[in-house]
Structures are given as C-alpha cells and as structure tokens.
Amino acid sequence: MSGTRNDWSREEITEIYNMPLMELIYKAATVHRQYHETGEVQVCTLLSIKTGGCSEDCGYCPQAARYHTDVEAHKLLDKETVVGNAMKAKEAGSTRFCMGAAWREVRDNKDFDRVIEMVQEVNQLGLEVCCTLGMLTEEQAQKLKDAGLYAYNHNLDTSEEYYKEIISTRKYEDRLDTLAHVRKANISVCSGGIIGMGESQVDRIGMLHTLSTLPEHPESVPVNALVPVEGTPLEDQPRVSVWEMIRMIATARIIMPKAMVRLSAGRTAMSTEEQALCFMAGANSIFAGEKLLTTPNPDFEEDRKMFELLGLKPRAAFKGKEVEEPASSYKPAYS
C-alpha cells in the first residue's frame, strides 16, 4: 500500500480523470481494495435543523432567502425533535448523523448553544455526529469538538476560479479558513463539491486538486450531482451523466485513497446499476433517508434492498479512529 500524497499536480489529476473509463474504474477499484474493506459502505443521515432564510446567494441552493422556491423555512428545531430523528436514523442503520443549518456562519448565541446540546446528546447515542453550519471560528470549532462533534462538513463546491460564478457573498479563502479551523480542532473534515453547475472539466479537476493538496486530505469527500431546483439560478442546468459522476468518484478515490468518498445528492436520478458502478469506482459512503436537507433522496427501504442485492454492508461507526468517549458528564442546561 503506497502512502498518500499531498503534492498532486493538476496535470497528473487531469491524466487520471481522462483515463479510458474501464481503466479508470479498475484502477480506482484496486486502490479502494488496498485501503478499505470491500463492500463496506458508510450510511449517513442528514437532517436540516434550520431551513431556509439564508443570507448567502449560492446559485444551487433553494434555501437562499433571495430565491423564490418552494422550500418552507423553519427556525432551529428543538433538541428533542433532532434527537428523536437521530434515534430513528440509528435504528434504520445509519452510523453518522449530520445536522445542517442554513446559516452563513455560526454566531455565538442561544441557537449555537442549542446546537451544542444537540451534538452532546446525539453523541451519547453512539452515532458519529456531524454538523454543517456555515463558517466557523477556531473557538467555535473547539466548542463543537468539546461537545463531542466527530465531523464537520464544509464543501468547496467547485474550483477557486469558478467559485465567483456560483457564490458572490463569500470567498473561497473563507471556505479554506473554516476547513483549517475544523482541522485544528481535531475534528474530522468532510469536504467535497457539486458537479453540473455549468463548470468545465478544468474546474472539476481544480476542486479535486485543492482538496488533495490540503495539508491533510479530508476524511470524507462528498461528490454531489446538482439537483436543479426551480426558482434558483441553476434551475435550468442539464443533469450530469452518471459517467461524469463516476469519473469524479474514481479520481477522488485514487488521489485521496483513505477518504470516504460519498455518493451524495443526485442518487434519486440513478438506477441501482448506475449506483453499483459508482461503488465499483470507489464510492463507499451514502446519505440515507428520504431527504437531503431539502431535495429528495432514496428511502431507507430502497437502500436496504440495494445493499442486499449488491452484497454491501453498512460500515460500523467510529471505524478507523479510536472511539472517542461520549461526553458522559454532560447535563442539559435547559430543554
């Protein structure tokens, strides 16, 4: 097993990305088997704990307040609802529970205090707790870590060059700064992007280059296919083909071999056969449950049947990392 590399050049990644497809899948599958148990897939559940009304202008997102979409905004959910959802996700076989809030950034207020309590309680359930809450300071990242947060999702979305075409309300460096704060707090990093937003192949490779040349690779790399939503600036984007997804997944697998590569948004438009090819190409993580924040996703039962058919098994929680003690001293401040 060769060590991981953080010095990939764009040319090398381009060469991998453009390999003949069957060769690419074979190479990615080989790397996958060197670093991961075959047939093991991480099952994560994502819950929107605060929906809509976001001040940012991400062109793909129906939660931006400035776009007129069918998303029903709601304030931060109460802790009991969130913990109840986490319990259901665990019963259905998820090992990671990710809580997403449509915030530009985390603010030090009562809402953040409530999220901290949610993290503490979900951690107590023995689930890997993940959050995606927007930009974070170093102190906030540490606070989340102390509460038992296992992973933080903050996607780069696309290449640095194409970023301004998709989002104008923040910069690429802001994303990278938050990732650095998460890493510094010793929280597992989850960062990937979306394809199908009108970007070129060069942009896709650019994003993979940035991720794979970070001082440490993200532990999770979600690869999303844009789900165009009416009312957003990207509503008319054509759907990406499965072959493009496979190229992204396989390239990510080869250049970041230890990462969990997540086949994320866009699965509802894929057949079981297409998803099987993505798993062959090195995807080993999915989101389960009917919804991904606001867009549809296959339900648990559909995925259970697919796992059975393909001989896949869910990956245990905290695998590959020492189990961290749940924050057992935690006492709820209020409920």
Catalytic residue set: 54, 58, 61, 98, 130, 190, 262
Cβ-based nearer residue to ligand SF4, 174 or 302: 174
The residue type of 16 is I
CA distances from residue 30 to 37, 185, 256 in whole angstroms, order as listed: 11, 33, 13
321's tokens? 């990392």
Pick the closer one to ligand SF4 by CB: 193 or 206. Answer: 193
Which is nearer to ligand SF4, 59 or 282 (by Cβ)?
Answer: 59
Specify the amino acid at residue 168. Answer: S
Rounded to whole angstroms, the Cα distance separating 317 from 127 reads 7
CB of 293 to ligand SF4, least distance (A): 8
Which H or E element spans position 11?
A: helix 10-17
> Minimum distance between the CB of residue 166 and ligand SF4, rounded to whole angstroms?
9
Q: How crowded is residue 280: how many other Cβ atoms within 10 Å of its Cβ?
A: 17
Residue whose C-alpha is closest to residue 133's, from 107, 103, 97:
103
Instruction: Choose between 43 and 102: whose C-beta lies nearer to ligand SF4.
Output: 102
Minimum CB distance to ligand SF4, residue 136 (Å): 13
CB of 22 to ligand SF4, least distance (A): 35
Q: Which is nearer to ligand SF4, 65 or 92 (CB)?
A: 65
Q: Which residues bind ligand SF4 (CB under 6 A)?
A: 54, 56, 58, 61, 63-64, 102, 104, 134
Sequence-distant (6+) residues with CB within 8 A of 289 are 45, 46, 47, 89, 92, 94, 297, 299, 300
Both tokens assigned to 335:
């409920």
- Contact predicate 101/74, CB 8 Å: no
The distance of closest approach from Cβ of residue 167 to ligand SF4 in the complex, given in angstroms and rounded to an integer, is: 7
Q: What does the block give as tokens for 53?
A: 């009304």
